[in-house]
Each structure stands twice: as structure tokens, then as C-alpha cells.
Amino acid sequence: MRSPISKGYYGNLFFEFILQDKLADAVIILPGFPSNNDFSGLIHHFYSKGYHVFVPRYRGSYQSNGKFLGKNPVDDLADFIDKLETKKARDLWDGKRKDFKLGKKIILADSFGGAIACGLAAKHSGKLSHLMLAAPIWDFQKYNLDGKEKDIEAMTEFVRKSYKNCYRFKFKSLKKVLSKFPELKPEFYAPRLKLPILIIHDPNDHSASFKNTQEMMKKLAKVTLLEHRLGHHLTEDLLSVHWQDIDKFIKINYLG
């Protein structure tokens, strides 16, 4: 039987979490957009490997308060990590405080979360030890310019209609809103990223261009590429199949 996943709030951000009963590193998972809100497989995978696991929801999405992208997501997540460093969280089920011993902090971001994770790691380099990106969108302003990725504006309108109670926003252009946050632009984050980066990407991905990943790798200081053939989405199966390589990346680049 799998261990239960707890739920809590740090300020405005709702998060799910599961804790080890000893000193452990933490994996912080940033969702894509839109997300089906079920991270149980990913959470249990990393928990079974000995990690604390935390999955914050962006402001204005699902149980988090506020308007989606109403504030800079990089600053929201920096605040989240600051609260994580208090090494305590309150479980909403019984209201009890859970204390934990925290080692390194590893960010894992999926698709939409890629540039956000890069901006976070670049602006707050001392807070994180490793960065893992699954099929990342590197630059929202250049996304789908060649027509070979998804129409992000059409997707935004789709989310407005079909996720109306899950993502709360009034803007019409996702690109325009994201352009307000300089930390999400490669010219900001690429020269500042000094921590080890693992990119997990299917070369046949049509949602996030593999070509863009190849180009971005030339601009990053310490990067490893893990190619696979399991599609765009980050899944428990993908992690299981390629766990040996992922585990090797973490341990070889472990910053003592």
C-alpha cells in the first residue's frame, strides 16, 4: 500500500507533499499547462527512491489562491522555497505540523514549467542544487513561430473554456502576459545558470521542439541530455524506464 500524500498551503500556494522520516533531499515538481492535477505517480516514484516530494500549484490554478499569472511565478516559487527551508509544513487533513530534515533541493519542471524553473534557478541560484527539465518550453515569445509546435493562444482559449474553475484568468494572450516577466527569457536565465541541468526530451516531440532544446544546450554551462521515445509528457513510466540515467545524473552532480 502506498503512503498517503499530504496537502498544505505556504501562503497563497497550495501544494501536495510526502515526507521521509529522515534527512533527505527534496524534489520539487513544477506542473505544465494545462495540468490534469494528478501527480500521484510522480510523487510516489521519487518517494520510493528516498526523496521528500513537493508539488506546488501556480497562483490561480486549482487550489492555489489568486489569479493565474497575476504575479511573477518565479517570485511566488522563491517564496515557496523560502517557506520550505523552515523545514515544517501543516497537513490540512488533521491540522498537525510536520517537521522534516531537508538536504538539497532539486527542481523538476515539465513543458510550460521549463522557463519558469530556469528563471527561478537563475535568480535564486543558491536555493537549488539540480535542475531537471522534461520537454521544456525555453522561450514563450518564440514558441511555435515555425508552426511546428502547438498554438499556445488557441490552447489558452481552450483552457479558458474547459478548465474554467481550475485556471482563473481574464487575459487573452498567454504570450503577452508571460512577456512581462524578464526572468522567463533565455537572455536573462541562460548566462546565469551554473547548476547541473538534465534535459529529458523525445526528439519526435511535436509539443515542445527538440530543435529548440539543441539550440539552447549551446548556451548552458553544465547540461546533460537524456533522449527517449516516450512522447511529450512526463510520466511515472518514463522515470522508471530511464531511472538509472536520472539517478546517475543526480549522484554524479551532487554538490556536497
Express each pLDDT in 105-121 by its tens digit: 999 999 999 999 999 99
Give the whole-angstrom CA distance, residue 108 versus residue 162: 26
Give the whole-angstrom CA distance, residue 184 versus residue 73: 9
Backbone φ and ψ for 190, nearest 5 degrees, come out as -55, -50
The pTM of this model reads 0.96
* pLDDT tens per residue, range 3-26: 899 999 999 999 999 999 999 999
**pLDDT at position 254 over 80:** no
Where are the alpha helices (H) located in 179-235, listed in sequence order?
186-189, 210-217
What the chain holds in terms of domains, given with CATH numbers, is 6-250 (3.40.50.1820)
- Closest among 167, 162, 159, 140 to 69, alpha carbons compared: 167
C-alpha cell at 25: 533531499
How confident is residue 245, by pLDDT bands cut at 50, 70 and 90?
A: very high
* pLDDT tens per residue, range 173-203: 999 999 999 999 999 999 999 999 999 999 9
**pLDDT at position 256 over 60:** no
**pLDDT at position 60 over 60:** yes
